[in-house]
Structures are given as structure tokens and as C-alpha cells.
Amino acid sequence: MQQRTLGNSDLTVSAIGFGCMGLSFGYGPATDKNEAIALIRKAVDLGVTLFDTAEAYGAINEEIVGEALAPFRDKVVIATKFGFKDGDSTKGQDSRPERIRAVAEASLKRLKTDRIDLFYQHRVDPNVPMEDVAGAVKDLIAEGKVKHFGLSEAGVQSIRRAHAVQPVTALQSEYSLWWREPEKEILPTLEELGIGFIPFSPLGKGFLTGKIDENTSFTKDDFRNIVPRFSPAARKANQALVDRLAAIAAGKNATPAQIAIAWLLAQKPWIVPIPGTTKLHRLQENLSAASIELGAADLAQIQDALSQITVEGDRYPAHLAARAGR
């Protein structure tokens, strides 16, 4: 597995990380704990060194990550997040400095570790100055409890304000072939400031794999049920994007998922996508994307295909969209 350095920091990780959220949160029933631990350890065997979790994914998520990675602790990078009231994403944001410290202490225990390698603010809190947030994390870094500071779904001004107090190592936000909004302002800002970018949902929450269509049904606790872009009508309209992607993938003897990830890797050398999965064969498929090289002609072909398609449906319902980009 190739390695990538996040911006101007000294944090080097595998070119593709592992998003652990879906093991127990957001996409239906939780994976059996032992199966989840085995999958994470297989990811380590396959060269993954960046693992992403969060307080908001439930205590079990951090506990699984901590137990799975304990034998390899000094060889991997663990990222987790703070920023929601009581760790519950439905209750709104809470990034008060005392809350940040409390989350750090609790996460350290659940992760069975003495330091958090990358500590993200999960969403910008409009009620707490970014300088106070960055200052709180700076104190934790000085104490050795946190190694690097990150932001998630933050807007340009928040990134700049945070970075001025405590250098931001990475921004984690959605970015993929069907959500390219970061290209307008976010990517140029990150390049200017020397901040790495960690795209979540690099496969469009599964849609870009080609395994979801207008007839797909999700379990009742799958959050895609409330996402406008996943309405049956939107899925039918957006199938054209997957069809184009599949045609390009066939020409490279690859899968649509692999081309979607390889495309992200080709955008900037400091981009590290974190696809998630609960299945070993999907993990292997995703990681194989690191060996696919897309040349200028390939990227131009993809760009041409995308330019002929308008993606239908918002990526978030209104109440969640309001949290992003602040």
C-alpha cells in the first residue's frame, strides 16, 4: 500500500484509509463485534494504517476500533471526533472546551490508548468561537493526549480561523464523483495552507458501486432513507452517472468503485479517501484501487462523462445540510 503525507504535517498514512462508521452506525444493523474486529485487522494486514471513528458513532464503535488495533497500536493512526451534545448527532453541536476535554478522556479509554492521533471537530459549533475550539485541542496536544487537529465539513473561514491558532492537519468532508463542491473553495484553501484532505463517502454512500438502483430498499435504520439523493426518483435519474462510470471501469479492467476511488487519489497527492465496508471482498476491492493509475487521458474521459450529467437530489436533508460548510 502506498503512503501519503497529510499536507505539511508529519503525519503519513496509507493512501486509502478505513471508515469504521458503518460497522455499527448509520447503515442498518451493526456488524457482529468479532466480525468487525476481524475485518479491521484484515485491513491492517492489507496495509491500511488510517482508521476513522467518532464518539457520535456510539461507544461500541470506538471500543471495537480500540480492541481491533491494540496489537498494532504503534503502526496505525486512529482518528476520532468530538462536537455533538452527549455524543448524539441528533442533539446538535457542543464544542465547548470542557466538553472537548471530556470527550478526549472518554475516547482514550474506549480506544484503549494513551493518545488520539487525529482529533476532529465533527461539525462546526456556531455557539463556540473557533479560536476556543482550536485552543482546547492545542492544550490537549501540548499534554500529549492528542497528536493532530482536524476539522470535518468546515467552511473556508472556519478552517482559516482554526489554523491560525493550531495548525490543522486534515479536513474530513464528503468528496466524490457525485459531490464535487469542495473543488470550488475548499481544495484551493487546503493547498494554500498545507492541510491534508480525507474524503468520506468516496463511493457516494454506496451508489457509485453500481450495486444500488431505484428498486433497492434500505433497512428502516439506514440513514439513506432520509437523503434526498437516495429517493427512488433521484436514484433512477442518477443511474446515468453509474452507467458512464461502469463503461470507463470496463475499459480499465476495474470496477466502478475502484475507478471512483482512483479518481480521488489522482486529484491531489495529499488526498486520502476512507471508504467503509462490512465485507472482506469489498475491502479488498476498495484497496486495490490504489494500484490503478489514471492518466491525463483517463481523467479527461471521466471529466467529459461527468460534464454531460447533472446529479439529482440534495446530498443531505435540510437540517443536516445546515451543519456543513460553516
pLDDT in tens, 130-153: 999 999 999 999 999 999 999 999
Q: Three-state DSSP class for 307?
A: helix
pLDDT at 323: 81
Mean pLDDT across 88-115: 96
Mean pLDDT across 174-194: 96
Task: Report which of residues 171 and 226 the model is more confident about.
Answer: 171
- pLDDT-based confidence at 273, cuts 50/70/90? very high
Instruction: Please give the Cα distance from 48 to 38 (Å, whole number).
Output: 14
Cell 464503535: give the residue.
Answer: 61
- pLDDT-based confidence at 13, cuts 50/70/90? very high
Mean pLDDT across 8-16: 97
57 part of the active site: yes
Instruction: Please give the Cα distance from 277 to 20 (Å, whole number).
Output: 8
Given the candidates 3.30.360.10, 3.20.20.100, 3.90.76.10, 3.30.750.24, the CATH classification of the domain at 3-321 is 3.20.20.100
Asked whether 14 and 50 are in contact (CB, 8 A), the reply is: yes
pLDDT at 176: 95
pLDDT at 269: 97
Residue 313 has pLDDT above 90, yes or no: no
Instruction: Please give the Cα distance from 112 to 54 (Å, whole number).
Output: 14
Mean pLDDT across 272-287: 96
C-alpha cell at 183: 473543488
Task: Report which of residues 59 and 82 the model is more confident about.
Answer: 82
Mean pLDDT across 275-300: 94
- pLDDT-based confidence at 106, cuts 50/70/90? very high
Q: pTM of the full predicted structure?
A: 0.95
Give the chain's mean pLDDT.
Answer: 94
**Nearest Cα to Cα of residue 195 among 4, 1, 36, 9:** 9
Residue 29 has pLDDT above 90, yes or no: no
Mean pLDDT across 101-117: 98
pLDDT at 220: 85
Strand 116-121, strand 12-14: pairing? unpaired
Q: Which of the listed ranges 165-174, 227-236, 306-315 does the model predict with the highest average pLDDT? A: 165-174
pLDDT at 228: 86
Domain ranges in the chain are 3-321
Asked whether 262 and 254 are in contact (CB, 8 A), the reply is: yes
Task: Report which of residues 208 and 111 the model is more confident about.
Answer: 111
Residue 315 has pLDDT above 90, yes or no: no
pLDDT at 322: 81
Asked whether 76 and 51 are in contact (CB, 8 A), the reply is: yes
Q: Which of 57, 120, 175, 316 is catalytic?
A: 57
Residue 308 has pLDDT above 90, yes or no: no
Please name the residues in contact with 89: beta carbons below 8 A apart, sequence gap of 6 or more.
56, 122
pLDDT at 319: 82
Query: Phi and psi (nearest 5°) for 149?
Result: -105, 135
C-alpha count within 13 angstroms, C-beta hemisphere, residue 69: 31
C-alpha cell at 107: 475516547
Mean pLDDT across 4-25: 95
Listed in sequence order, the DSSP H helices in the chain are 33-45, 59-69, 97-110, 130-142, 156-165, 186-193, 232-251, 256-267, 280-288, 296-307, 318-321
pLDDT at 159: 98
* pLDDT digit string, tens, across residues 185-234: 999 999 999 999 999 999 988 888 888 888 898 888 888 988 888 899 98
